[in-house]
Structure 1
Amino acid sequence: MFPVIDTYKGMKNASSQNAHFCNFGRMSELVRTLVLKPDISKPKWDQSTFEGRARHFFAVTNPLNLFHGEKQLENFRKIVDNYQKGNVSDTLTLAQLWKAKTVADSAFHPVTGEKMMLIGRMSAQVPMNMVITGGMITFYKTPAAVIFWQWLNQSFNAVVNYTNRSGDGGSVSQLLLSYCAATGGALTAALGLNTLVKKAPPLVGRLVPFVAVCVANSINIPLMRRGELTDGIDIVDENGQVVGKSPAVARSAISQVIISRIAMATPTFAFIPIVVNSLEKMPFFQARPRIFLPLQTGLCGLVLSISTPVGCALFPQQTPVSLDQLEPALAQKIRNLPNAPSQLYCNKGL
């Protein structure tokens, strides 16, 4: 669902070097004056730590990245392209370089270079999910409302998945299958559970959308990546060279992605209903039932602005892999390589 970030060779050293530029008040320095220039092919912060990953995703998912016009986006991309070619403006500061890198990465596809659909970008995750989640946890009692909001949620997920596809045109049919299966699973879970909990306390009914979203994620993500489950996920060495494919590691990587997605949704779908269920008992809110839609939507936005980057940061995207995790035949093949790698990685995705 999210763009792939290639960070293999020298990943930790490059991240530490980049962090050096950020932590010592040097962001206003001119790039051309720096003896040691930052490697913008890597994230700004150390991705081997949770803090570094969280700071990276707070920057990437920032909704303010959406408020840049076409000319600004092209200018940011030009700054990044020129820097990578060794052409550095005399007035370019370190802060301007990193801003250009962050905004360009948020707007342009990492493989095709095309400008991505606005609502499919990572920076649109919080505002879009704020509205959709607010609707799902407010209108959950009638079948028509459940069908509409669950359909809208899965449709948005499909747009995000398509926008951030790998660049292979053959993935459209895979997206369609995943969309239909996830939508069907979410609707079945939501409508079925609503029938079962009709006589249960109100709080139980409020948690039904959360269960439906968990079911949809558990269907959607494995279907989207079913090729990796059968053929294996790419295993690479320190230099980013593919040394094999492993279905076993793919299962682990996809499980981590599912956990991350559910972790992103848990605070909004589980915490907010508990809060609202308590507020409903107060006379002030009982006299003003229409306040709950804007209230819950606003709370969703606040919570999602934290849970989205934190959920993305739970596991390293470039996950270290040991030989013990691989199938015996693949592990032996790697051991027999002329220059057997000391460390392996896989890109678990997001």
Structure 2
Amino acid sequence: MAGRIDLDKPRYDQSTYWGRAQHYFEVTDPRTILASNAELDAAKNLLDLYREKKEPAGTTEEQVWHAKKLYDSAFHPQTGEKNFFAGRMSCQVPGNMLITGAMMVWYRSNPAQILLQWANQSFNAIVNYTNRNASSNITNEMLAQAYFLATGSSCVVAVGLNKMIARSPTLSKGIIGRFVPLIAVASANCVNIPLMRQVELKEGIMVADKDGNELGKSKNAAVAAVSQVIPSRVLMAVPSMGLTPVVMA
């Protein structure tokens, strides 16, 4: 190889939008969830050897990058543990497609909405737990609190809106009912995210200078981060749950 790859840095330039987009295309590539345990272990082993400069002769850069892609998709970056497949970022697209599709089809059914809102929050809880900050002091009790309150809020909103729409002849004939799943999911995010990040909000998050030197913890930075994540999570659902009703109508 012409030069050594820095395995601690992404493959693509993170100072550009396209570089960041390429990075997240790889992180969320659903094809990586099809990799077997043997393939994942082989990728980890190759990276371990590469860090020690003991990789097999003839190993190419592309092989190293592919191994890094598989490793990053399946192993926790802090603990090094293999993540449960449903909690991997590569499972986000197919997992959310199934749940969202079902929500949009059975939007009028309260039992279906309760079941699907529960499934959605359970899926989110798995993802949040799998990709948790290993150094965070958040407890299992806090995670359970966030899970049950988010699930409860989404179910209450979904059922309440459906009943309100059913009582109105005007609303029941329109497409407003198709937006119930989106509103329910948005309400759950407003509850779930602050609760999931309550430790950071109370204690602050570590901030660093441009050279990576840690300066200390900041509560203001934590508040800013959470206040940006909530609308971004809501907006992420808009293309599939906000535009679909218009198309289906």
- TM-score tier, shorter chain, comes to over 0.9
Corresponding position of 1:281: none
- Tell me whether 251-260 or 101-110 shows the greater mean CA deviation: 251-260
1:232 aligns with 2:232: no
Given that 2:138 and 2:199 are in contact with CA atoms closer than 8 Å, whether structure 1 keeps it comes out as no
Corresponding position of 1:254: 226
Counterpart pick for 2:68 among 101, 104, 121: 101
Alignment of 1:137-156 (within 5 A): 137-156=104-123
Structure 1: 5+ residue runs without aligned partners? 1-30, 278-350
Compute the TM-score of the two structures, normalised by the length of structure 1.
Answer: 0.67
1:74-125 per-position Cα deviation (integer Å, ceiling 9, x unaligned): 1100111111222232211111111100111111111121111011111111
Corresponding position of 1:274: 246
Counterpart pick for 2:190 among 187, 195, 218: 218
Counterpart pick for 2:80 among 113, 116, 119: 113
Corresponding position of 1:3: none
Structure 2: 5+ residue runs without aligned partners? none
Counterpart pick for 1:91 among 58, 61, 69: 58
1:46 is displaced (CA, Å) by 1.5
1:67 aligns with 2:34: yes
Q: Percent identical across equivalent pairs?
A: 44
Give the AA of the match of 1:151: W
CA distance in 2, matches of 1:132, 1:158: 14
1:260 is displaced (CA, Å) by 2.4
Q: CA RMSD in A?
A: 1.5
1:239 is displaced (CA, Å) by 4.3
Corresponding position of 1:189: 157
Number of residue equivalences? 244
Question: Which of 1 and 2 has higher RCO (CA within 8 Å, sep 6+)?
Answer: 1
Q: Secondary structure at the match of 1:261?
A: helix
Q: 1:80 to 1:248 in 2, by over 3 A?
A: same
- Tell me whether 148-157 or 232-241 shows the greater mean CA deviation: 232-241
Given that 1:165 and 1:171 are in contact with CA atoms closer than 8 Å, whether structure 2 keeps it comes out as no
Corresponding position of 1:203: 175
1:52-77 per-position Cα deviation (integer Å, ceiling 9, x unaligned): 11111111101110111111111100
CA distance in 2, matches of 1:177, 1:245: 25
1:216 is displaced (CA, Å) by 0.8
CA distance in 2, matches of 1:57, 1:259: 19
CA distance in 1, matches of 2:211, 2:105: 49
Compute the TM-score of the two structures, normalised by the length of structure 2.
Answer: 0.93
Corresponding position of 2:142: 174
Q: Which has the larger radius of gyration?
A: 1
Corresponding position of 1:159: 126
Which structure 1 residue ranges, 4+ long, deviate > 4 Å from structure 2?
none
Corresponding position of 2:16: 49
Corresponding position of 1:79: 46
